Amino acid sequence: MRGTEPYHHWPIRATVYATAMSLAGAATGVVFAAAGAGVEALWPDARLPLAAALGVIALAFALHELEFVRLAVPGRDWQVPVEWVRSGYYQSAAVWGVLVGAGVFTRITYAALPVLLAWLFVSGNVPFGALAGLTYGATRAASIYLSVTTHDTEETISLGQRLMGIAPAAHQWVGLALAAFAVYLLAAPYIP
């Protein structure tokens, strides 16, 4: 994120990036929840069967994250074109944050996001969609501030490598959470 601007401007640029990413996540959440609300208006009894179907899907992706099966995680391989983020010290951070933070334009490595978006759709709850999307974007952006602790490019690259080293454990935590979510969706609605 650091460019040729004075170093003391960097935290402002990081905040522009984090804010854009958070707002884009919220917008995605609103779109999915509003679409679900529309479906619910047409088919009022849809929530329970859709929740059960999502429970089965979440369980399948839990098995994927824990490497019992191999599934393709829904997503796109599109990457933000370099020329779109070439100009403007703050503008490029905002564009990058919006496109990546929306979550639906670029590559998704973990099944937690597609399952979350599907649940926002099933819930049809627009304020929940906004808050959950905002939470996703903010937590995804938060690590940018870890770069404050680095002093040069080499340290920044090393930080990125350390974060990537957490990936196997992250897949396992996501698998555990998806398994819990799946059982909850399959059981909770039917417990008196």
Partner 1 sequence: MASHTTSLIPGEARRFALLAGGLLVGLALALASGGFSWEGGAVGLGFVLAVLAGLAQRCSA
Binding positions for partner 1, rule: CB under 8 A:
25, 47, 51, 62-68, 70, 72-73, 103, 108-110, 112-113, 115-116, 119-120, 123, 125, 128, 131-133, 135-143, 160, 163-164, 166-168, 170-185, 187-189, 191-192
Please list, in sequence order, all residues whose beta carbon lies within 8 angstroms of the beta carbon of residue 119, skipping any fewer than 6 positions away: 54, 181
Residue 5 has a CB neighbour count (10 Å cut-off) of 12
How far apart CA 133 and CA 122 sit, in angstroms, is 15
Nearest approach in angstroms of CB 31 to partner 1 is 15
Nearest approach in angstroms of CB 92 to partner 1 is 17
Q: 16 vs 178, which CB is nearer to partner 1?
A: 178
- Helix then strand then coil, % of the chain, to nearest 5: 75, 0, 25
Please name which of 51, 187, 61 lies closest in space to residue 112, comparing C-alpha atoms. Answer: 61
Nearest approach in angstroms of CB 20 to partner 1 is 14
Nearest approach in angstroms of CB 168 to partner 1 is 4
Nearest approach in angstroms of CB 182 to partner 1 is 6
Q: 13 vs 171, which CB is nearer to partner 1?
A: 171
Q: 16 vs 175, which CB is nearer to partner 1?
A: 175
**DSSP, residue by residue, 93-113:** HHHHHHHHHTSSSS---STHH
How far apart CA 75 and CA 29 sit, in angstroms, is 16
Q: 12 vs 188, which CB is nearer to partner 1?
A: 188
How far apart CA 68 and CA 122 sit, in angstroms, is 27
How far apart CA 178 and CA 152 sit, in angstroms, is 38
Q: 143 vs 158, which CB is nearer to partner 1?
A: 143
